[in-house]
Amino acid sequence: MSIFVGRDTRLMVQGITGRDGSFHAKQMLEYGTTVVAGVTPGKGGQTFEGQVPVFNTVADAVRQTGANTSVIYVPPTGAAGAIFEAADAGIGLIVCITEGVPVMDMTRVLPYVRERGARLLGPNCPGLITPGESKVGIIPGNICLPGRVGLVSRSGTLTYEIVNHLTKHQIGQSTCVGIGGDPLNGTSFIDCLRAFQDDPGTDAIVMLGEIGGTDEQNAAIFVKEYVTKPVVGFIAGQTAPPGRRMGHAGAIISGSSGTAAEKIAAFETAGIAVMKRPIDVVPLVQARLK
């Protein structure tokens, strides 16, 4: 079992003929993801890597291949349009990898996606992976191991660091989800925590947060009230100076709500075991799986 993606995932790649899209489409195919379609306007009729049909529109791709999930690798100014198109065509899970999407675009995209009952992951995220079943996005498949720990994170490479530690110690993962670092995104920590709590294939949850905003604090309250599975957490940016953004638009210290200290305190209050270093994930998770 897993959350959001698995063996039933029929993936469409928007921007499959672009530099990033083609590279990662190939990686996803090699991993074993069921990639059923690609979309690039004007390139309909082509075939990608000899096996994936390319369509001009998402609607065509859905009609002809039954795609139910989309991953987006289009440039920032076209990303909102790609999300609108996917939502309109009835795609249930839309994963936007693109970094640099204007925030103003997201204010219009988010309600549109919700009204159509779709889920958006990202933008500016590494995607997600259910090890051994389906990889959607850019998380390296070789560092993951099938298992029963759910992981949700705001970062990319920090996620890989933590997953790598888990895998090296034979602690497998049910699903690893990168929700992205932008200030306005489609899927929150809480959405993922709820899904992991309800997933019979997940026994423990690892949550990786950052400074900035109040998402982690809200997630901590949710954990306290609804999550019965053990949760292990980490907050990056304890040494960040106030008022400065660290690469992610979301990672700033906003007044009194957003410092690492405040988030760690919120985690501890909610009974979340907090790692001091990335490597601490191993003993903390091991102790809670027994």
Partner 1 sequence: MGLPVARRGPWQWIPQSEVTVNLHEYQGRVLFRAAGIPMPDGDVASTPSEAESIARRVGGTVVVKAQVHAGGRGKAGGVKLAKSPAEAAEAAEKILGMSIKGLIVQKVLVVPAAEIASEAYVGLIMDRASQRPVFMVSPAGGIDIEEVAAKTPDKISRLAVDPRYGLLPHQALGLAFFLYRDFAQARSAARIMEQLYQVFTTNGCSLAEINPLVTTPDGRVVALDAKVSIDDNELDRRPDLALLRDETAEEPSEVQARRANLTFIKLSGNVGCCVNGAGLAMATMDLVKYYGGEPANFLDIGGSSNPDKVVNALRIITSDSSVKAILFNIFGGITRTDDVANGIKTALSQFPVKVPIVVRLTGTNEAEAVKILQGIGMPALSDMDEAVRKVVALAKEAA
* Interaction mask 8-37, partner 1, x per CB under 8 A: ------------x-----------------
The catalytically annotated residue of 24, 165, 169, 248 is: 248
H or E, element range at 27: helix 19-31
Binding segment toward partner 1, per CB under 8 A, in 39-47, 94-102, 197-205, 262-270? 94-102
* 10 contacts 33 by C-beta, under 8 angstroms: no
Shortest reach from residue 102's CB to partner 1, in Å: 4
Shortest reach from residue 1's CB to partner 1, in Å: 26
Region for residue 164 given its phi and psi (left: phi exceeds 0; alpha: psi -120 to 50; beta: otherwise):
alpha
Active site annotation includes 248 = yes
Shortest reach from residue 63's CB to partner 1, in Å: 28
List the 173-178 sheet strands across, edge first: 134-137, 127-130, 173-178, 146-153, 204-210, 231-236, 273-274
Shortest reach from residue 280's CB to partner 1, in Å: 10
Q: From CA 202, how far away is CA 119, in angstroms rounded?
A: 20
Q: From CA 137, how far away is CA 126, in angstroms rounded?
A: 6
Q: Which is nearer to partner 1, 94 or 236 (CB)?
A: 236
List the one residue from 57, 245, 265, 274 that touches partner 1 (CB under 8 A): 245
# chain residues binding partner 1, by CB under 8 A: 60
List the one residue from 38, 53, 132, 213 that touches partner 1 (CB under 8 A): 213
- Residue 159 as a binder of partner 1 (CB under 8 A): the answer is yes
* 264 contacts 274 by C-beta, under 8 angstroms: yes
The amino acid at residue 60 is D
Q: From CA 47, how far away is CA 249, in angstroms rounded?
A: 37
* 15 contacts 39 by C-beta, under 8 angstroms: yes
Shortest reach from residue 262's CB to partner 1, in Å: 14
Q: Which residues bind partner 1 (CB under 8 A)?
A: 20, 76-77, 99-104, 106-108, 110-111, 126, 138-140, 143, 153-161, 164, 181, 183-184, 208, 210-211, 213-214, 234, 236-241, 243-252, 254-255, 276-279
